[in-house]
Chains A and B, each alone.
Chain A
Amino acid sequence: MISLYLIVTAVLALAAFFIRKNAITHALVFAYVIFLAGFGIFMSHHVGEYFGEYFFCDYLGLIFLALLIIITFVSALHYVTSSKNRSNTPAIIALHNAGTIFFTGAITGVYFTSHFGVLWAFVEATTLGASVLIYHNRNQDSLEATWKYLFVCSIGIAIAFAGILFLGLAAQEKNNSDISFAGIKAIAASLNQGWLKACFLLIVTGFSVKMGLVPLFNVDIDAKDASPSQVGASLSSVLMNAGFVSIYRFYEAFSDTSILPWMNRFLLITGMASLFFAAVYSLKVRNIKRLFAYSSMEHAGLVMVAFSCGGIGYFAAILHLIMHSFIKSSLFFQVSQMHRIYNSKWDDNIGSYLRVNPLGGLVLLLGFISIIALPPSGLFISELLMMQALITQNLWWVALLVVALVLVVIYGLSVRILGILFLKKSTVNITPAGATLWESVIQLCILVFVFYLGLFRPQAVVDTIYAAIQTLPL
């Protein structure tokens, strides 16, 4: 099945690239999403099984695959409209669609591989796929963002590879050359803890570019700003999740060792630093896409803080990622419409959005309520659990600091978003025809689903998350 998945991904990506007819390349992306859904159904019946030497299926992979399928599908739908509005050439559309298939396939590989080396290879592949998508607009901004993204990601990935080599060295000291997740987890407690710390430090540093964390977050922000909104949605959701899964695999493998408290402290510092930078920049930034990008960084930081607490924090972290993926992608999709109406992404130019585009304004309002974690948003539950986890660990001062920084971000978001919705008037000529009803309806459905998850917390979702984290020291 894994061979089939790799072959279908490659064939459809090549077909989308070479068949430069818009209808066909768009259809190929939808065909790939359907194939991926089938792949997901197949995998859901084989949880806990290995597929060859390098792949396996667990609940964590399944959760994020489900998100990947939904977001890629909605993203593909939005791209059909936006490419028509922008009058993109068939060559640009073909490259974008081929890039989407390649990028999605690489992320799926990250979710289901069982080998640290292969995980690294798939994360590297996401860089190449993302670069193609970021360059879509073919202008000075996209060129700058793509160059920086490629360069810094390549450096980050090289650093992460050095971490994997250190892991290999630690394993070799015990005459073990197997660096699969299970192989390392089985002997982790007996490995040189210094090498494991070095490995984890390099891995988190290298993969921080994917999750949008300190230290390599800058290029991620630029990429979300300069790329089309549906690409920003993917970078802020599915790629961020891939970055989390990459770090999670190492954390899980080392979780039975004496470095667990050290890893938790390191993740806490990384999370708090990310939260701090996100809070500072949220006050300063006036570009709406960058504002949402910094908001993603804030949530990535919160996920790391929750995860570092262990116990209920693990559950909160994954729940938070699920909710954030839905909300942030909806907001980025809505930004695409705003851009079409105002031809600007600067908050100075955008105003009276609720009047100009009532349904779109409603999406932005509900998205805003959701992203700042006001009830009944699902994020409210995850952030509440996060606080519970911090207090359980007696980290009162961290909890207070988190609340203070989150309030700063909320202030930054409120000033911009409420201004756009209600307070300010547009300073540019507007094109109300840029708004598309069905796009806003889809985004609204996603946000209603987030409210549903927040209000009712379906037992199946809760059970699946607990099943995903059962291998961690709860």
Chain B
Amino acid sequence: MQTFDNFIVILFIISLVYIAKAEMIKSYIGLLTFQGFLLFGLAYSELRELDAFQLIFILVETLIVKAGFVPFFLTRIVKVKNHRNNTGPIKGYYSVFVAGGIIVGSFIAAHLMHNEHLQVKYFTAAISSLLIGLFIAINHKDILTHLASYLIIENGIFLLSLALGSEMPMFVNAAILLDIFSSILIMGMFFNKLKDYFQNTDIGQLSKLKD
């Protein structure tokens, strides 16, 4: 089972490198779906001892919401299949170098902080996901890419909770699920409204409110 977990974590980290390099929205959607399945595999393997209700809850969170609903919803709101996002200053393979640097840095940090309660592999993947999500948000100017970066950060938070093994009350787990669900739903609705008001989905257009 340990080998299976390691394999999934490595796949997750590779998917982060691909995400950092991606430029097409459909690539983001595909990679987020893939990450949803990977997170389900990890959660199932780590949390098998949970009771049936909690296991079903995790199943809903990862498989149905992260791998199913969210990519489906994003696909629906992106009418143009080959929608290319507006990349910022760091492009192409330079993004891969940045992502690689983040992953190596996260691994070193995780190794330094390692103790019996902190799993290095999950911690590396979680911190990498958080930082690469922030990197994508800063480096890209497309609104939909920002939505994808938010989901990458959320995946990082999910992994962090696995890394630290913290047990939150069901109420909090429900709030996290609601958070992802409602944020995506609301942001998706606003995305459509934004398209009605603005010519394209460049974040630069959202600059009317200033001093």
Q: Among the listed stretches A90-98, A282-290, A375-383, which one makes contact with chain B, having 4 or more residues with CB under 8 Å of it? A: A282-290
Residue with the greatest number of chain B CB neighbours at <10 A, chosen from A125, A135, A165, A177: A165
Cα–Cα distance between A402 and B117 once the two chains are bound (Å): 44
The verdict on A308 contacting chain B, using a C-beta distance below 8 Å, is no
- With A54-B171, A117-B172, A154-B183 already in contact, the answer to whether A146 and B190 are too (CB < 8 A) is yes
Q: How far is the CB of A175 from chain B (nearest CB, A)?
A: 10
Please determine whether B209 and A118 come into contact, CB atoms closer than 8 angstroms: no
Stretch of B12-20, B29-37, B51-59, B160-168 lying at the A interface? B160-168
Known contacts A117-B172, A121-B172; is-contact A165 B166 (Cβ 8 Å): yes
Stretch in B42-50, B70-78, B95-103, B146-154 with 4+ CB within 8 Å of A:
B146-154
Query: Which of A131, A140, A164, A285 is the one whose CB lies under 8 Å from B208?
Result: A140
B6 contacts the other chain (CB 8 A): no
Identify the closest chain B residue to A132 (Cβ): B186
A165 near B161 with CB under 8 A, answer yes
Tell me whether A144 is interfacial, beta carbon within 8 Å.
yes
Complex A-B: 25 CB contacts under 8 Å:
A115-B169, A117-B172, A120-B175, A121-B171, A121-B172, A135-B190, A144-B206, A144-B209, A145-B209, A147-B187, A147-B206, A150-B187, A151-B146, A151-B187, A154-B183, A155-B137, A155-B153, A158-B130, A162-B160, A168-B167, A172-B165, A173-B115, A173-B117, A281-B211, A285-B211
In the bound complex, what is the Cα–Cα distance between A285 and B208 (angstroms)?
Answer: 14
The interface bits of chain A over 271-294 (1 if a CB of B lies within 8 angstroms of the residue's CB, else 0) are 000000000010011110010000
Interface residues of B, Cβ cutoff 8 Å to A: 115, 117-118, 130, 134, 137, 143, 146, 150, 153-154, 157, 160-161, 164-169, 171-172, 174-176, 179, 182-183, 186-187, 190, 193-194, 197, 206, 208-209, 211
Report the Cα distance A141→B164, complex, angstroms: 41
The secondary structure that dominates the A interface is helix
Contact yes or no, A225 B187, CB < 8 A: no
A118 touches B169 (CB 8 A): yes
Confirm or deny: A128 has a beta carbon within 8 angstroms of a beta carbon on chain B.
yes
Distance in Å from the Cβ of A172 to the closest Cβ of chain B? 5
Is B153 in contact with A158, judged by CB distance below 8 angstroms?
yes
Which listed residue (B117, B174, B187, B190) contacts A169, Cβ 8 A? B117
Residues of A within 8 A of B186 (CB): 128, 131, 150
Q: How far is the CB of B31 from chain A (nearest CB, A)?
A: 19
Taken together as a complex, chains A and B put the C-alpha atoms of A117 and B186 apart, in Å, by 23
How far in angstroms is the closest Cβ of chain A from B201? 11
Contact A120 B172, CB 8 Å, known A143-B193, A147-B143, A158-B157: yes
Min distance, Cβ A174 to any Cβ of chain B, angstroms: 10
- A166 an interface residue at 8 Å Cβ cutoff? yes
Bound form: Cα–Cα A150–B182 in Å: 10
When the two chains form their complex, are residues B211 and A287 in contact, meaning their CB atoms are under 8 A apart? yes
Q: Is the CB of B160 within 8 A of A165?
A: yes
At the interface, yes or no: A148 with Cβ under 8 Å from chain B? yes
Once the chains are docked, how many angstroms separate the CA of A64 from the CA of B173? 27
The answer to whether A140 and B164 touch across the interface, beta carbons within 8 angstroms, is no
Which of A115, A151, A162, A284 touches B157 (beta carbons < 8 Å)?
A: A162
Contacts of B143 in A (CB 8 A): 147
State how many angstroms separate the Cβ of A126 from the closest Cβ of chain B.
12
Contacts of A169 in B (CB 8 A): 117-118, 164-166
For residue A222, CB closer than 8 A to chain B, the reply is yes
Cβ-closest chain B residue relative to A125: B175
Q: A143-B193, A154-B150, A169-B165 are in contact. List 8 more A-B contacts (CB 8 A).
A: A118-B172, A141-B208, A144-B206, A144-B208, A154-B183, A168-B166, A172-B117, A177-B167
Q: Cβ of A154: which chain B residues have Cβ within 8 Å of it?
A: 150, 179, 183
Q: What is the distance, in angstroms, from B2's C-beta to the closest C-beta of chain A?
A: 21
Residue contact A54 to B146, C-beta cutoff 8 Å? no
Whether A124 contacts B130 in the complex (CB less than 8 A), given A147-B206, A151-B187, comes out as no
Q: Which residue of A lies closest to B168 (CB)?
A: A117
Give the shortest distance, in Å, between A114 (CB) and chain B (any CB): 12
What are the residues of chain B within 8 A of A225 when measuring CB–CB? 209
If A150-B186, A150-B187, A169-B117 touch, whether A158 touches B154 (CB-CB below 8 Å) is yes
Chain A residues lying within 8 Å of B167, measured Cβ to Cβ, are 168, 177
Closest to B197 in A: A140
Q: Which residues of the other chain, B, contact A146 by a CB distance below 8 angstroms?
A: 190
Q: In the complex, how many angstroms separate the beta carbon of A218 from the nearest chain B beta carbon?
A: 9
Chain B CB within 10 A, most for which of A128, A146, A172: A172
Q: Roughly how many angstroms separate A154 CA and B174 CA in the complex, as a whole number?
A: 16
Q: Cβ of A200 < 8 Å from any Cβ of B? A: no
A117 touches B171 (CB 8 A): yes
**Chain A neighbourhood of B154, CB < 8 A:** 158
B141 CB to closest chain A CB, in angstroms? 13
